[in-house]
Amino acid sequence: MDERKRMEELAEILTRASQAYYQEDRELMSNLEYDRLYDELVSLEKKTGTVLAGSPTVTVGYEAVEELPKEAHETPMLSLDKTKDVEVLRSFLGDQQALLSWKLDGLTVVLTYGDGELKKAVTRGNGVIGEVITNNARVFKNIPLRIPYQGELVLRGEAIITYSDFRRINQEIPEGETRYKNPRNLCSGSVRQLNNQVTASRSVRFFAFGLVSAPGVDFENSRARQMEWLESQGFQVVYYRMVNGGNLDEAMEYFSREIQHNDFPSDGLVALYDDIAYGDSLGSTAKFPRNSFAFKWADEIQNTHLREIEWSPSRTGLINPVAIFDPVELEGTTVSRASLHNISIMRGLQLGIGDEIQVYKANMIIPQIAENLTRSGKLPIAESCPACQAKTEIRQVNDVESLYCTNPACPAKAIKAYTLFVSRDALNIDGLSEMTLEKFIGHGLIHSLADIFRLGEHRETIINLEGFGEKSFQNLVDSLEQARHTTLPRLLYGLGIPNVGLAGAKLICGAFDGDLKRIREAQAEEFSAIDGIGPVIAGSIVEYFRDQEKARALDALLECLDIRQEKVQESSRDLEGMTFVITGAVEHFANRKELKEHIESRGGKVTGSVTSKTTYLINNDAASGSSKNKKAKELGIPILTEKQFLEL
C-alpha cells in the first residue's frame, strides 16, 4: 500500500477508536492494538517526513478570530482563458506536451511552508488581495502540517468539499432550516470561517494544482516533475494526464466519461504546458496567463416540448417546480425532467405548457432548461400543496421568489418520521428510501402511515414515475405485504415516539405482556415503574397516545397490519432482572447487536456504561486495561467471556 494512503488509513482508524473510547464509552480495539497502530503511524511520519492534518500524533487547537486579515499576493492570480472547442485546445497544445487535469470547483488557496511547517494560507480573493486563513487550513482533512522540504515552498491548490460530504452535511441540518445549495458555496463558507472548529467539521480537502516556488529543487524544467515532487512531500495533487495534439481525443474521452462518476465537483479541465521555461517565456495578457488554458464542456443541447410542471414539496415547506418534457437523449442518457428551482427562474423563462424548450446537462450531469423558444408565459402556479392540499404562498427572499406550503403539519415536512417508520428496525420495508418517500408524498400518495400500505392502489401513477416500472412496483407491493406481518416492538419503535428506541419499545411491550390496548391507556406512573424507562420517556409515551389525531392515525394503521405476538417461554426468561454491558469484539455472535438482542429476548437488559447496577460485563478480553474493565473491577462486577456467558 502507498505510504500516504496507509498514513491516512491509520489516522482515520485511530481517530475513530479514540472518539469511541473517550466520547462514547465503548472500545473498538484493545489498548495493545491501538498502541501498535499508533507506533506504525509515528514510524511512517518519521520515514516520510510528512505529518498530515488530522493525525492523532499532533493536536491542532481550535481557535476563533474576530476577522480574517487581508493580504496581497506576491504575484496576481489571473483567471484562465477558456474554450468549449476541443480544436481550440488542440491548437493551444501545438507541438507541446501539457498536463491535462480536472478544473476543480471550490476555492483556490495559496499555501506557504517554511522550515518544514505550514506557515501561511491565503485565499485567492479577487486575485490581487486574499484573506489569510492559516488557522482554518490547519484543519483541512488532508493537508500536510509538516513536510520533509525545509526551504520556503509556495504552492497553489483548490479547497473542495466532495459531493458525499456535501450530502452528509445537508442531512445533518435540522428540519426547517435552509440547506446549502452546492458544494462550492459550502466550501467557500467553510474555508472562510472565523472559528476553525466549524471548518474542521466540514471535511474540507485540498488538492495541489501548481507549484509557485521551491528554491534549490531541480525539477528538470517539467511541471510533471513538480507535481510528482509535491506528492512526495505529502500533498494530494489534482489528477492529470500528459497530453499532446495526437492523444488529446483519447484523454478527452476519458475525462468526459469519468466526470459522471466523480465524487468531487469539477467544472471543466485545465491544460498546462509541461515545459516550464517555454510556458513562462510566453508571459501573460492583462487577464490571462499564456502557459495554460481552460476547457469547459460544450453542452449538448436538445429541443423538446414542455408537458407539465410537477410541484415537489420538501421538508422545509419549499415547493420546487420541476419541468416535465418529452424525453430526449443527453450525454448518453434519456432525460425527461429538470428542476426549475424557484418561481423567479420559472417566470424568467416565461414557460407555458406545450412550449418548445432547449435542455442541456450542466457540467454533463444536471439537467437544466437553457432557453424557451416559444415563451407563451401561460403557466399557472400551484395554489395548493400537492402533499396536503393546503394553501400555498409566494415568499420573496433576497430578490428570489419561491413557493411555500402554509400547513405546519404537511406530511412532506414529516419525511423523517416516515423514513424511521420504514427503516430496518421498524417495519423494515424494502424499496422505500427517503428519496422515494419524498417522491410519493409529493405526488399526494402518502398523507399518513396507513397510506404507505395502500400504495398498491396507485399502480398507474407509480409505474409512470421516473425510476419506476412494473417490476419496481411489484417488488414494492411484495415488500409491503411482507412488512404487514410485524411485531409490537417494531411498530412501537416505528411510531417515532420521542425518546423511545427499539430497546425501550421491547421493554415496554414486555412489561405490558404485548397488549397494545393496555399500553395506549396506561398512565405515566406505570411506564416509570419499568426499569430503564424514566419520567421523561414516560411522559413522551403518554403524550403521544393521548393525542387524538395520532390516535386516529394509529387506528387506521392497525387495520393494515397483522401484529404477531412474540411468544417467549417462561423458562427462556432466565436473564430477567439482570443488566449487561457488552464491549470488545464478539466471536459466537455476528456482532454485538445480535448478542444484545439475544440477551433482551431472554429478559435481560443491555446498557452502554458500567455502573453499580450492572450485573455482568461481557468482554472476550477479560484481562484488557479498558475503561469498562477497570470500572467493573473497581465495582466488583464479574467480567464474562462470551463462552462463560453462554454457560450461564
The binding site for NAD(+) comprises: 79-80, 124, 158, 296
Percent of the chain as helix, strand, coil, to the nearest 5: 35, 25, 40
| Interatomic CA distance for residues 230 and 227, integer angstroms | 5
| Interatomic CA distance for residues 467 and 459, integer angstroms | 14
C-beta atoms surrounding 174 within 10 Å:
6
| Interatomic CA distance for residues 160 and 411, integer angstroms | 35
Answer left, alpha or beta for residue 325, where phi above 0 means left and psi between -120 and 50 means alpha: beta
Q: What separation in angstroms does the CA of 283 have from each of 100, 221, 279, 291, 520?
A: 20, 16, 7, 8, 79
Residue 408 C-alpha cell reads as: 405546519
- CA dihedral 582→586→588→592, nearest 10 degrees, is 50
Alpha helices (runs of H) in 24-52, residue ranges in sequence order: 31-48
Residues with Cβ within 8 Å of residue 537, at least 6 apart in sequence:
499, 500, 504, 527
CA angle 336, 452, 490 (to 5 degrees): 130
Please report, in range form, the residues annotated as the binding site. Answer: 79-80, 124, 158, 296, 385, 388, 410
Q: What separation in angstroms does the CA of 492 have from each of 5, 413, 454, 515?
A: 45, 21, 20, 12
Question: Closest by alpha carbon to 296, among 77, 80, 93?
Answer: 80
Residue pair 192/248 in contact (Cβ under 8 Å)? The answer is no
How would you classify the pairing of strands 485-487 and 579-582?
unpaired
Residue 453 DSSP class = T
Helix (H, G, I), strand (E, B), or coil: what is residue 300?
Answer: coil
**DSSP codes, 398-410:** TTEEEEEE--TT-
Q: Locate cell 472562510: which residue? A: 192
Residue pair 423/494 in contact (Cβ under 8 Å)? The answer is yes
Burial of 60 (0-12, 13-18, 19+ CB in 10 A): middle
How would you classify the pairing of strands 605-607 and 579-582?
parallel
Q: How many residues does the structure list for the chain?
A: 648
Hey, CA dihedral for 104, 110, 113, 118, is it positive or negative?
negative
Please report, in range form, the residues annotated as the binding site for Zn(2+). Answer: 385, 388, 410
Q: Locate cell 517526513: which residue? A: 49
CA angle 200, 206, 209 (to 5 degrees): 165
Residue pair 420/494 in contact (Cβ under 8 Å)? The answer is yes
Hey, CA dihedral for 334, 337, 340, 341, is it positive or negative?
negative
- Catalytic positions are 103
